[in-house]
């Protein structure tokens, strides 16, 4: 009995030492500013989310979170920088359905492997893709748009860029309906919206947060959203699935990633900080008003979703042309 008690005590002491070491490692992180790479242009949806959440994460962790925009190649340039950074928790990236699941089936050459080169940290949330028309095109419904496009072969639709979830939504919609539309990729939403508002672009698939102010002002007409559910910011706008186009459903998601082999302590500290930040009422309200649906998660959930979506797009790429124009 005495020996059993001694062994139990020794085991508990060893466990305490292990937990103490982990706590010490976690307590030492972060010891310097964290760089949060956003692989898209400044001023867009991702930028708003990164800066809003990043500010609160900085408060939680006691170190600055520096948002750095590195746009290009559908997000591949910025996320490649994350993949090749030291796995010390001081460089993280704003990944998405496009960069971490879709792009391998869009671009013939990828600078990184999304299934092997990242550590999932936390979900950031979801957005909606909106199918909209500008003042140059007078159609009142998706059905009318399809009819118009068939009568005018080569009718163009713009997106914020090749390889984005908006590009995916547009291609899936076009192939499903046989509308025969022409994809025009832009470098971000701002340029495309300028052409849409100016009458130079008739149709656009855009991230809802970027287009929402123009929709509310009555300058852009939303025909549908591509998500499986209606967007809370546009409760009266139907989904494509409701209109009979269930084969064109796209639900964009976003998540925080670090380089592969990041320490469990840094990963957990970052994940908990993002989950806390995204649950704050002032953060939720600000992002929801902009058309974004924020939510955090465990690192494991990010890894599961990434793997699942990658396999889904792998299967889809055998049926639908997803390659870069």
pLDDT tens sequence across 253-282: 999 999 999 999 999 999 999 999 999 999
Residues 6+ apart with CB under 8 A from 11: none
Query: Which CATH code fits 129-243?
Result: 3.40.190.10
Phi, psi for residue 54 in degrees, rounded to 5: -60, -35
**pLDDT confidence bin for 303, thresholds 50/70/90:** very high
| Measured CA distances, 311 to 124, 225, 307 (Å) | 21, 24, 6
Give the other-Cβ count within 10 Å of 185's Cβ. Answer: 18
**pLDDT confidence bin for 3, thresholds 50/70/90:** very low
**pLDDT confidence bin for 13, thresholds 50/70/90:** very low
Residue 305 pLDDT more than 90?
Answer: yes
Beta-bridged to residue 282, according to DSSP, are none
For Cα atoms 127, 231, 319, give the angle at the middle one, nearest 5 degrees.
Answer: 65
Question: Which of 25-34, 65-74, 95-104 has the lowest average pLDDT?
Answer: 25-34
Residue 7 pLDDT more than 90?
Answer: no
First and final CA of the chain: distance in angstroms? 75
Query: Which CATH code fits 34-126+252-319?
Result: 3.40.190.150
**pLDDT confidence bin for 204, thresholds 50/70/90:** very high
**pLDDT confidence bin for 27, thresholds 50/70/90:** low
Domains 34-126+252-319 and 129-243 belong to one CATH topology: yes
Counting other chains too, the contacts that 239-247 makes at CB distance below 8 Å and 24 or more residues apart are 240/131, 240/142, 240/173, 243/142, 243/143, 245/142, 245/173, 245/176, 245/177, 247/172, 247/176
Please say whether the beta carbons of 56 and 88 come within 8 A.
Answer: no
Domain coordinates in residue numbering, the chain: 34-126+252-319, 129-243
For Cα atoms 302, 66, 300, give the angle at the middle one, nearest 5 degrees.
Answer: 10
Please say whether the beta carbons of 126 and 250 come within 8 A.
Answer: no
Query: In terms of residues, how long is the chain?
Result: 325
């Amino acid at each position: 009995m005495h020996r059993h008690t001694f062994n139990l005590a020794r085991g508990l002491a060893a466990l305490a030492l292990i937990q103490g070491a982990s706590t010490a490692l976690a307590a030492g992180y972060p010891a310097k500013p964290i760089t949060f790479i956003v692989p898209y242009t400044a001023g867009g949806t991702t930028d708003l989310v990164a800066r809003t959440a990043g500010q609160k994460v900085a408060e939680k962790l006691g170190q600055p979170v520096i948002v750095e925009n590195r746009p290009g190649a559908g997000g591949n340039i910025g996320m490649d920088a994350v993949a090749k950074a030291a796995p010390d928790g001081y460089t993280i990236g704003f990944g998405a359905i496009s960069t971490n699941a879709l792009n391998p089936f869009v671009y013939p050459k990828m600078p990184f492997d999304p299934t092997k080169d990242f550590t999932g940290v936390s979900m950031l949330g979801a957005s909606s893709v909106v199918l909209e028309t500008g003042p140059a095109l007078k159609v009142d419904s998706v059905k009318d748009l399809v009819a118009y496009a068939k009568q005018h072969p080569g009718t163009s639709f713009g997106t914020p860029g090749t390889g984005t979830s908006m590009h995916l939504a547009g291609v899936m919609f076009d192939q499903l309906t046989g509308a025969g539309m022409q994809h025009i990729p832009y470098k971000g939403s701002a340029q495309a919206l300028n052409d849409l508002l100016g009458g130079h672009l008739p149709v656009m698939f855009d991230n809802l947060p970027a287009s929402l102010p123009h929709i509310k002002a009555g300058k852009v007409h939303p025909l549908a959203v591509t998500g499986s559910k209606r967007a809370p910011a546009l409760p009266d706008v139907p989904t494509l699935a409701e209109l009979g186009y269930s084969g064109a459903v796209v639900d964009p998601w976003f998540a925080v990633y670090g380089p592969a082999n990041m320490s469990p302590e840094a990963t957990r500290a970052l994940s908990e900080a993002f989950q806390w930040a995204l649950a704050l009422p002032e953060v939720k309200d600000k992002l929801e008003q902009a058309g974004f649906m924020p939510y955090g998660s465990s690192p494991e959930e990010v890894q599961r979703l990434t793997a699942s979506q990658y396999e889904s797009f792998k299967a889809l790429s055998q049926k639908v042309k997803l390659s870069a124009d």
